[in-house]
Amino acid sequence: MKSVLGNRKLVVSIFVVLILASSALALGPLAFSVIMGRGVKTEPINADKVHAATTDVDGEWHVVQGSAYNYTSAGFTIDEILPADKRTTSGSTKHVTGQATIKDGVVEEASITVDMASLTTDKKVRDQNMKSKLFEVTKYPESTFTLTEPADVSAVPDDGSLVTVPLTGDLTIHGETKNVTQDFQVVRDGDTIILGGDIPINRLDFGLEAPEMIAAKISEVGDVNVRVTLEK
């Protein structure tokens, strides 16, 4: 009798395990979705919320918080490759500083510094992995972009219209520096200038080795997202 009861318990236990395993497989994509959300992205310039310029373009400019519609922000966007899916996620921070010197409509000097330790997505676990294992923010607390060639902004109108301006500079991430040239959107908004754009990168160029993860792998290519508001 004990043997029969023991066998029944064993069968029930195996049955329960099989049910749980099947449920886990069925809920796998949902579980990954909970872990791997879309993140928090630095968006392009909101052209609908800008106004005509109220100051000239020349002068000493510095990065400020910006408006609620075009606040200063910087971050990244990259694809996460899951076992049965691929999705795009982003991280960003408002902790950005910088300055620019414009004379006779030409940007002579400019730099932007991003506090990497303040980057956030929408998941705390991913934030911890990203900061400690991918960006290693303890060793490399800042990322920077420094203009290396003058940029002509004399054609940026004072009516609040966006124009494209190519910028060339040194992009430093994770202690590695690469010279890049990329088009940015620029607009004069009231007493500010807003600059926004995406810089395509290969993370391996900056020594960003993805940590081993069970749920997802990280694509080698992605974008650095930038939107900064500057004021005199």
In DSSP terms, 73 is beta-bridged to 227
Phi and psi angles of residue 122, each rounded to the nearest 5 degrees, phi first: -125, 15
DSSP sequence for 19-84: HHHHHHHHHHHHHHHHHS--B---PPP-GGG---B-S-S-EEEEEE---SSS--EEEEEEEEEETT
Q: Which residue has the higher pLDDT, 52 or 6?
A: 52
228 close to 74: Cβ distance less than 8 angstroms: yes
Give the position of tokens 């200038």. Answer: 193
Q: Same domain for 25 and 97? A: no
Q: Assess whether 53 and 155 both reside in one domain.
A: yes
63 and 172 both lie in a single domain: yes
Do 13 and 56 share a structural domain? no
DSSP-assigned letter for residue 213: -
Q: Is 12 in the same domain as 102? A: no
Q: Any idea of the CA torsion for 190, 192, 198, 203, to the nearest 10 degrees?
A: -160
Structural domain containing residue 25: 1-35
14 plus 114 within the same structural domain: no
Query: Model pTM greater than 0.75?
Result: yes
Predicted pLDDT of residue 84: 72
Mean pLDDT of the chain: 85
Indicate whether 17 and 58 sit together in one domain.
Answer: no
Report residue 216's pLDDT band, with 50, 70 and 90 as the boundaries: low
Written as six digits, the tokens of 34 are: 């909970």
| Residues 122, 7 share a domain | no
Provide DSSP, 143-205: EEEEE-S-EE-TT--SSS--EEEEEEEEEEETTEEEEEEEEEEEEEEBTEEEEEEEEEEEGGG
Same domain? For 69 and 164 the reply is yes
Q: Are residues 89 and 107 in the same domain?
A: yes
Domain total of the chain: 2
CATH of the domain at 218: 2.40.128.110
> What are residue 138's phi and psi, to 5 degrees?
-65, -40
- Name the 3-class secondary structure at 115: strand
Tens digit of each residue's pLDDT (9 = 90 or more) over 129-173: 889 989 999 999 999 999 999 999 999 999 999 999 999 999 999
User: Do residues 110 and 74 both lie within one domain?
Assistant: yes
* One domain for residues 149 and 181: yes
